C-alpha cells in the first residue's frame, strides 16, 4: 500500500466511455459511505472536513491531509434529528448524522459563521464527536483595509491546528506546491464552466455537477488528472444543440439540490452558469505562488473571489453579481432556488427577484431540500415557466 497521496481514490477506467465515467462518478458523489474517504483512511491518511461554503483547502493539502467538503447527504437521519429543533435546514442535520454514524468523521472539523445555524455546528460537533471541531472566522468586513491581514493570521492559526493533527510543521514550500496544484484545479474548473456556457448541450448541469463535486472528495491532483482527461473528450461528444432556454441556477451555495432535481431542470433548460458548490470555485483567479502563500490565499479570498449570500462585501452587491453572471453566460432567465429553512438563501431570493424584475430578466423561484425525492411538480412548473417564455 502506498502513501495516501499517491494512491488513486477513484476506481475508474479513464479509457472507458465518457458516459460510463460520469455514471461511475455520480455513484461516488451520491454514495453516503464516502468510499474515497474510506480508501484514503485505509492508506493511513488524515481527513479535514470543512463545512460549506469556502475553506482554504490548500492548508490541509500542504499538510498531507485530505480536505473533504462536508455538504450533507441524502441519508436516513437516525440520530442527528434529536440534536436539533424544528426550523433547521437539512444539510446541518445530515452533516451531523454522517459524523454520528461514522460515515464521515474527520480528524479535524471546521465550520464557518456562514449563517446562524452553521456556526452552531462547532459546538454540536464538539459535544458529540471526539475529533476537534472549530470555527474559522472568515471576515465579513471585507471592505476593511485590515481584513486581509486578519485573515492571513486566522489562516495561520488554523494551520497551527492542522499541524497539531498531523504532528509536523508545514513549511511555505509545501504551501506553494499546494497553491500550484489548486491553481491548476481552478483553471480546469474555469474550463469546465466555459464549456457549459459555450456548448451547454455537451454538458448538462447534473453531469457538470458531478465533475465538480467529486473534487471535494478526492485529492486535487487526481481531480486535475480526471478533468484534464475528460474535458477534451466532452468537447468531442456527439450531442446536438437543442432549442432549450439558457438559464442560470442560483441557490446551490450551501445545501445541495438532489442530482435528480438538476437532471429534471436539464430536461427543459441549459444551465449555463450556477453557484453550485461555489466554494470550490470561490477564488476566480490563480493565487500568486511567490511571496507569503498564506497571505496570498487570504488576499485572494477578498480580492479575486466570487460571491454568495453568506459573504458581505460592499463591492459585490449580490443582485448586481447575479445580473453579471446572467449576462456573462448569455442566459435568458434565472432559476432562483433556496434550500428549505436556509435563511441567507431565502432572504436573498427577495433581493434577487426585485433586481431581476427591474432588469426585465424572467425568473423561476423554488425551494428544495437535499432529501426530496419527488420532482414531478417542479418539472411541471418549470415546463410551464419555459413554455410561457418561449411562446410569449
User: Which residues here bind other proteins, judged by CB under 8 A?
Assistant: 82-88, 92, 113-117, 119-120, 122-124, 126-128, 132-137, 139-141, 144-147, 149-150, 153-154, 157, 160-161, 164, 309-310, 312, 314, 317-318, 338, 340-341, 343-344, 346-351, 353-354
Minimum distance, C-beta of residue 269 to other proteins, in the bound complex (Å): 22
* Nearest by Cα to 256 from 154, 145, 337: 337
Residues 4, 107: contact at Cβ < 8 Å? no
* Nearest by Cα to 129 from 111, 102, 160, 162: 102
Taking the least distance from each CB to other proteins, the nearer of 222 and 348 is: 348
Minimum distance, C-beta of residue 84 to other proteins, in the bound complex (Å): 5
Taking the least distance from each CB to other proteins, the nearer of 5 and 113 is: 113
Residues 248, 329: contact at Cβ < 8 Å? yes
* In the block, residue with C-alpha cell 424572467: 362
Minimum distance, C-beta of residue 99 to other proteins, in the bound complex (Å): 12
Taking the least distance from each CB to other proteins, the nearer of 88 and 359 is: 88
Minimum distance, C-beta of residue 133 to other proteins, in the bound complex (Å): 6
Residues 111, 121: contact at Cβ < 8 Å? yes
DSSP class per residue in 252-299: -SSSPPPHHHHHHHHTTEEEEEE-TTGGGG-B-SPPP-SS-HHHHHHH
Q: Is 275 left (phi over 0), alpha (psi -120 to 50) or beta?
A: alpha
Question: Measured between alpha carbons, how far is 12 from 100 in angstroms, rounded to an integer?
Answer: 30
Question: Measured between alpha carbons, how far is 109 from 112 in angstroms, rounded to an integer?
Answer: 10
Minimum distance, C-beta of residue 127 to other proteins, in the bound complex (Å): 5
Q: How many CB atoms lie within 10 A of CB 299?
A: 20
Minimum distance, C-beta of residue 81 to other proteins, in the bound complex (Å): 9
Minimum distance, C-beta of residue 51 to other proteins, in the bound complex (Å): 13
Q: Helix, strand or coil for residue 322? A: helix
Helical (H) or strand (E) element with 4: none
Q: Helix, strand or coil for residue 247? A: strand
Taking the least distance from each CB to other proteins, the nearer of 43 and 113 is: 113
Taking the least distance from each CB to other proteins, the nearer of 36 and 349 is: 349
Helix, strand, coil share (%) of the chain residues, nearest 5: 50, 10, 40
Taking the least distance from each CB to other proteins, the nearer of 195 and 351 is: 351
Taking the least distance from each CB to other proteins, the nearer of 193 and 301 is: 301
Minimum distance, C-beta of residue 197 to other proteins, in the bound complex (Å): 28
Q: Helix, strand or coil for residue 57? A: helix
Minimum distance, C-beta of residue 78 to other proteins, in the bound complex (Å): 15
Taking the least distance from each CB to other proteins, the nearer of 12 and 88 is: 88
Taking the least distance from each CB to other proteins, the nearer of 140 and 304 is: 140
Minimum distance, C-beta of residue 87 to other proteins, in the bound complex (Å): 4
Question: Measured between alpha carbons, how far is 107 from 68 in angstroms, rounded to an integer?
Answer: 11
* Nearest by Cα to 65 from 168, 137, 135: 168
Taking the least distance from each CB to other proteins, the nearer of 185 and 305 is: 305
Question: Measured between alpha carbons, how far is 216 from 233 in angstroms, rounded to an integer?
Answer: 22
Buried b vs exposed e over 85-99: b needs ≥16 C-beta within 10 Å? eeebbbbbbbbbbbb
Amino acid at each position: 500500500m502506498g502513501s495516501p497521496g499517491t494512491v488513486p481514490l477513484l476506481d475508474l477506467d479513464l479509457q472507458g466511455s465518457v458516459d460510463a465515467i460520469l455514471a461511475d462518478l455520480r455513484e461516488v458523489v451520491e454514495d453516503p459511505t464516502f468510499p474515497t474517504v474510506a480508501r484514503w483512511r485505509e492508506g493511513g491518511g488524515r481527513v479535514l472536513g470543512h463545512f460549506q461554503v469556502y475553506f482554504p483547502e490548500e492548508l490541509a493539502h500542504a499538510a498531507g491531509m485530505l480536505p473533504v467538503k462536508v455538504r450533507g447527504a441524502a441519508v436516513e437521519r437516525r440520530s442527528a434529528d434529536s440534536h436539533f429543533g424544528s426550523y433547521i435546514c437539512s444539510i446541518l442535520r445530515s452533516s451531523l448524522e454522517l459524523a454520528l454514524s461514522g460515515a464521515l468523521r474527520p480528524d479535524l472539523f471546521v465550520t464557518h459563521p456562514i449563517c446562524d445555524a452553521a456556526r452552531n455546528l462547532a459546538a454540536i460537533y464538539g459535544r458529540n464527536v471526539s475529533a476537534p471541531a472549530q470555527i474559522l472566522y472568515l471576515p465579513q468586513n471585507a471592505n476593511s483595509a485590515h481584513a486581509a491581514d486578519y485573515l492571513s493570521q486566522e489562516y495561520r492559526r488554523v494551520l497551527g491546528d492542522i499541524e497539531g493533527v498531523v504532528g509536523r510543521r508545514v513549511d511555505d514550500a509545501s504551501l506553494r506546491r499546494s497553491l500550484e496544484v489548486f491553481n491548476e484545479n481552478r483553471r480546469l474548473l474555469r474550463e469546465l464552466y466555459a464549456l457549459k456556457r459555450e456548448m451547454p448541450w455537451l454538458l448538462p448541469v447534473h453531469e457538470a455537477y458531478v465533475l465538480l463535486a467529486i473534487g471535494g472528495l478526492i485529492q486535487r491532483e487526481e481531480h486535475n488528472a480526471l478533468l484534464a482527461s475528460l474535458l477534451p473528450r466532452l468537447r468531442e461528444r456527439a450531442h446536438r444543440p437543442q432549442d432549450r432556454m439558457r438559464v442560470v441556477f442560483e441557490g446551490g451555495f450551501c445545501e445541495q439540490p438532489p442530482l435528480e432535481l438538476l437532471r429534471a431542470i436539464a430536461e427543459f433548460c441549459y444551465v449555463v452558469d450556477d453557484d453550485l458548490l461555489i466554494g470550490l470555485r470561490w477564488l476566480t483567479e490563480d493565487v500568486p505562488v511567490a511571496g507569503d502563500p498564506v497571505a496570498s490565499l487570504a488576499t485572494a479570498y477578498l480580492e479575486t473571489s466570487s460571491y454568495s449570500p453568506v459573504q458581505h462585501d460592499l463591492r459585490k452587491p449580490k443582485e448586481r453579481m447575479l445580473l453579471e453572471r446572467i449576462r456573462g453566460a448569455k442566459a435568458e432567465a434565472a432559476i432562483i432556488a433556496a434550500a428549505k429553512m436556509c435563511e441567507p438563501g431565502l432572504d436573498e431570493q427577495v433581493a434577487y427577484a426585485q433586481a431581476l424584475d427591474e432588469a426585465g430578466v424572467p425568473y423561476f423561484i423554488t425551494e428544495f431540500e437535499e432529501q426530496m425525492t419527488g420532482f414531478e411538480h417542479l418539472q411541471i412548473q418549470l415546463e410551464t415557466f419555459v413554455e410561457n417564455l418561449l411562446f410569449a
